Structure 1
């Protein structure tokens, strides 16, 4: 019984110490930025999202079988801008996604 009481006091003491330590650390941290320190929009206005259709970029082939491709031989991205930038439209009456309720294949 006595050991449980002492154990409880130790736990309570540790919790009190942790709260005090946390408040000391918090006081040393800088406060939140003031209104004039907040980021502002650039003079050109907000930046807008751009949309573009992309198509896969072909992986270059080695000149002969003994030559290896190294990372700098490959392109930075796996895709390139498509020549046709028109958005594809779904066929009328087609759902366009899995589980759209269409008859599907039988």
Structure 2
């Protein structure tokens, strides 16, 4: 009961805590303004990038496939990821878009019923 009773000391502590929080907020704004003042100025409109003379670049849609992983002769040790080169992709000969199986969302845990 005594802890629940209002006391002048508790009010003073809450006031000091509130002033500390306000001081932290004001210090944060002050630090932010100092950092922003040191940044380089924003580019002017004439310094903004322009479109090339031939216009916007069009979108290219193509199917890509990865290179084949080298086959290891039987009895030899498998290659580690560090021994493989950067596996680039190349344009696919097929123009058909790959599709997921019917009834599948194509992702793990996608919420679909899956292929039954």
TM-score tier (shorter): 0.5 to 0.7
For the aligned residue pairs, the C-alpha RMSD in angstroms reads 3.2
How high is the TM-score relative to the length of structure 2? 0.54
The 1-side partners of 2:90 and 2:29 are apart by: 55
Task: Indicate the larger mover: 49-58 or 9-18.
Answer: 49-58
- CA displacement at 1:42 relative to structure 2: 2.6
Alignment TM-score, normalising by the size of structure 1: 0.58
Q: Which of 9, 17, 21 is residue 11 of structure 1 equivalent to?
A: 21
Gaps of 5+ in 2: 1-10, 105-115
Q: How many residues align?
A: 90
Q: For CA contacts below 8 A with separation 6 or more, give which structure has more relative contact order.
A: 1
Answering whether residue 81 of structure 2 is matched by residue 71 of structure 1, we say no
Q: Which runs of 5+ in 1 are unaligned?
A: 89-95, 100-105
